[in-house]
Amino acid sequence: MLVFLSDVHLTDGSSGETIKPTAFRIFAENLRKLADTVSPLQEIRLVLLGDIFDIIRSAEWIADTVSVRPWDPAGPEQEEVVVKILQGIITNNRQALNELLALRTYAQGKNVLFEIIYIIGNHDWLINRYPSCINMVQAALGLAPGTASSPFSTELFAPSYKVLARHGDIYDKFNYMGNRDASSIGDAIVIELLNKYPHEVDTALSALVTAGKVSPAEKDKITSLLKELDNVRPLLDLPSWVLMVANKTTNAAARKAIEDAWEACVDAFFQVPFIMKQDKFLWPDTVDWLQIALRLSSHTSTKLLEKVTELKAKLFPAQLEGDYHKDAFAEQKVRSGEVNFVLYGHTHDYVIIPMDQVPLADGTIADKVYFNTGTWRKTWNKVLFDYQQREFIGWHVLTYVAVFKPTENGAYNFEVWNAALG
C-alpha cells in the first residue's frame, strides 16, 4: 500500500507551534493497525507529500547576521542558513522522526518492503538546491544515500496503483512562479511578514513593559497569538487575525503597538525588491491582490474594514484559495486513463472529491477520485456567524490517505484517516 501525508511543517522551533511527537505516535499506531488488516500486504511505501521540513518558516532568515533570502542566488551564505535551519528542524523533531523510522522495523517483522519517499513542496524546495541538505534529509529519514544529481522528486506516478501525487503548490499563484528551484511570493510573505511581524510587535511591547504600560504576561500572550499567523487559512484573512488579537486586549497602548507594527510591516513588505519586481504593469496581478487584501486592510477604519471583509469573497478568485480539484481532473494521466487517483497537499484542507466514472472495455467502471491530504498543523478558521468580531476557532488536525494495489485489499481501493483535536 501507498500511504500519503503532507504539510507536517516541522520547524526549528523559532516561529509558531510545531507538531508534537504524540501525533507521529498516533499515526504510527494507526498505520500498524491498518497494515495488519490488509491481506495480502505486499509493501508499505510512505509518501511524504511536501512541506515536511519547513525551511521557510524560521526566524533565522530575519536574524541580524543574515543578509540572504531564499530568492537570492545559490551560494555559500545561503547554504549555511539552510543547513542551520535544517539541523534545527531535525534536532527539534528527533523524537517525532523516530516514530517514522520505527515503522521500518515493523515492516521487517511482517517481511514486507518498507520505503519512505520524499516529495518536495514550496516550504522545503531549498533542500534540493544543496547536496548537503539532501544528504541530511536522507540520513534523518533513514533513506539510502543518493547522489548530488538526484534531488528529491516533485511528483510520484505509481502505475500499479493508478496514482498520481504532487504537493499541489504549482497551482498556487502565490507559491509557485514557474520554477520549483526558485522562490515565490509566498516565501516573501512568510519571511518578510509572518516571521517578522511578531518579532516587531514583541520589540514594541517589550519597550512598553519597561515603561510599565504593559504587563510581561500580556506581552507574551499577544506575541504567542501572533506567531500563529502562518496557521490562519485562508491567507487573505491575515488582517482579520491581527485585529482579532488586538481586540483581545483592553490595553490601548498594546493595541496601538499591534496595529502600528502591522501597518509598518505591510508597507515594508511591498518595498522588498523581490516583491516590487513581481508587480507588473497590467492590473490586476498577484501583487495587486495582496495590496488590496493586506495594505487596504491595514489602513482602513474599523467600519470600512467590515465592508471589505464582506466583499472579499466576491473580489478574490476561488483559485487563490485552493480550489484544485479542477486541476486534478485536468491532469494528462487522468485524461489518458493511466490514473484513477490524484493526491495533492498544500491547501491544508482535507477533501475527497468524486471526479468522474469511466466505463472500461471489460465491463467494469473506473472511479476517478481527488484527495487533498490536508495538514498536521493546528489550523485557525474564521467563524461563519458574527464574523464582524473577527473570531477564529482553532483545532489540531491529522490526515493520511492509504491507497491499495488491486491485489492487496479485496474490493477496497483506498482508506482515509482524518482526525481533529480541539
pLDDT tens-place string over residues 218-241: 999 999 999 888 888 777 788 888
The answer to whether residue 24 scores a pLDDT higher than 90 is yes
- Between CA 226 and CA 246 the distance in angstroms is 10
The pLDDT assigned to 247 comes to 87
Q: How confident is the model at residue 63 (pLDDT cuts 50, 70, 90)?
A: very high
DSSP E strand stretches across 50-201: 113-119, 155-158, 163-166
The pLDDT assigned to 144 comes to 77
The pLDDT assigned to 145 comes to 72
Is the separation of the CB atoms in 105 and 31 below 8 Å? no
Regarding predicted confidence, which is higher, 279 or 275? 275
The pLDDT assigned to 284 comes to 64
Mean pLDDT, range 148-158, rounded to an integer: 87
Ordered by where they begin, the domains of the chain are: 2-172+325-421 (3.60.21), 185-320 (no CATH)
Each residue's pLDDT tens digit, 342-372: 999 999 999 999 999 999 888 889 999 999 9
The pLDDT assigned to 320 comes to 45
Lowest mean pLDDT among 56-60, 183-187, 312-316, 329-333: 312-316
Lowest mean pLDDT among 58-62, 260-264, 277-281: 277-281
- Grid coordinates of 73: 542566488
The answer to whether residue 32 scores a pLDDT higher than 50 is yes
Each residue's pLDDT tens digit, 284-308: 677 877 877 786 454 454 455 455 5
**Helices of type H across 211-285:** 216-226, 238-247, 252-269, 273-278
Identify the helix (H) or strand (E) that includes residue 332: helix 332-335
Is the separation of the CB atoms in 92 and 19 below 8 Å? no
- Tell me the pTM: 0.92
Of 60, 78, 45, 73, whose CA–CA distance to 11 is shortest? 60
Each residue's pLDDT tens digit, 95-125: 999 999 999 999 999 999 999 999 999 999 9
Backbone angles phi, psi at 176, to 5 degrees: -150, 130
The answer to whether residue 94 scores a pLDDT higher than 70 is yes
